[in-house]
Amino acid sequence: MRIICVDDYDQMSKKAANIVASQMILKPNSVLGFATGSTPLGMYKQLIKTYEDGHIDFEEVTTFNLDEYCGLSKKNDKSYYYYMYENFFRYVNIDMKKVNIPNGMAKDINKESLAYERKIRSCGGIDLQVLGIGRNGHIGFNEPDIKFEALTHMVKLDEQTIQDNSRFFDSIKDVPTKAISMGIKTIMHAKKIMLLASGKEKAEAIYGAIYRKITPELPASVLQLHPDVVFVVDKEAASKLDLEKLKEEYL
Ligand SMILES: O=P(O)(O)OC[C@H]1O[C@](O)(CO)[C@@H](O)[C@@H]1O
């Protein structure tokens, strides 16, 4: 586990974008795993800039997103498909046929989940998976007490997640209560993982992910077992960590 602690959100975004860009330069046909939420927005902006400056090319890239709300179509402006297109994909030369986001409108979610897993595997697996983290330590939409061996599946959202994500909706009643999400096992299969966190409301989850015992009660704690994971966190998200001790352990 590597931990990169930077000053603020802006630096976190730049660092994260550089890590994605270097993956793309080293392997132009990379399979990238992307996340939604507020945290990676700055990283997407930076990646667009890096693309516009001519340093990266998305032509051969394939992407898989972590999750999607059940019941929201691609056209719904609250869906993660819409988020990815409007905030990122429309600005770069990605082939939308190589963009994969779970279909939250699928009639048979189990079938959709299985097909998503097969597609990831047929593309050779995810080279670099980007993650955010929920205040309760969720990754993707894998809420506390999820089974570590879960692959892509339908999940029921935690009250806290519904509350946290209600800021994107007109009313809390509009927040879907279910989603389709890559499972912990899907995430752990990625060759490299990069988790991003900014702000003091993430400090407890970051502390737990790095130092607490590995337990499904704190899904992100499983990342301690991954052979190639980097946390890019700002000072506030790192505020519960002992940075001097971290230097000895991780830098
Ligand atoms: O970046 P945010 O908006 O704090 O969200 C954190 C996490 O919560 C989710 O938005 C799901 O609730 C994830 O996609 C994200 O990783």
| CATH for 172 | 3.40.50.1360
The yes-or-no answer on residue 143 being catalytic is yes
The single residue of 65, 136, 142, 165 carrying the catalytic annotation is: 136
Burial of 106 from C-beta contacts in 10 A (0-12 / 13-18 / 19+): middle
The yes-or-no answer on residue 67 being catalytic is yes
Q: Does residue 97 fall inside a structural domain?
A: yes
**CA pseudo-torsion sign 11, 91, 170, 135:** negative
Q: Does residue 202 fall inside a structural domain?
A: yes
What is the residue-level pLDDT of the chain in tens, covering all 251 positions? 999 999 999 999 999 999 999 999 999 999 999 999 999 999 999 999 999 999 999 999 999 999 999 999 999 999 999 999 999 999 999 999 999 999 999 999 999 999 999 999 999 999 999 999 999 999 999 999 999 999 999 999 999 999 999 999 999 999 999 999 999 999 999 999 999 999 999 999 999 999 999 999 999 999 999 999 999 999 999 999 987 777 767 65
One-letter amino acid identity for 49?
K
**Full residue range of the structural domain in which residue 25 is found:** 2-213
φ/ψ of 230, rounded to 5, equals: -125, 135
Q: Does residue 250 fall inside a structural domain?
A: no
Q: Does residue 207 fall inside a structural domain?
A: yes
Query: CA 94, CA 66: separation in Å to the nearest integer?
Result: 18
Q: Does residue 228 fall inside a structural domain?
A: no
Q: Does residue 200 fall inside a structural domain?
A: yes
The single residue of 68, 100, 138, 226 carrying the catalytic annotation is: 138
Q: Does residue 246 fall inside a structural domain?
A: no
The answer to whether the CB of 38 is under 6 A from ligand 1 is yes
Give the total number of structural domains in the chain: 1
The pTM of the full predicted model, rounded to 2 decimals, is 0.96
The yes-or-no answer on residue 112 being catalytic is no
Q: Does residue 230 fall inside a structural domain?
A: no
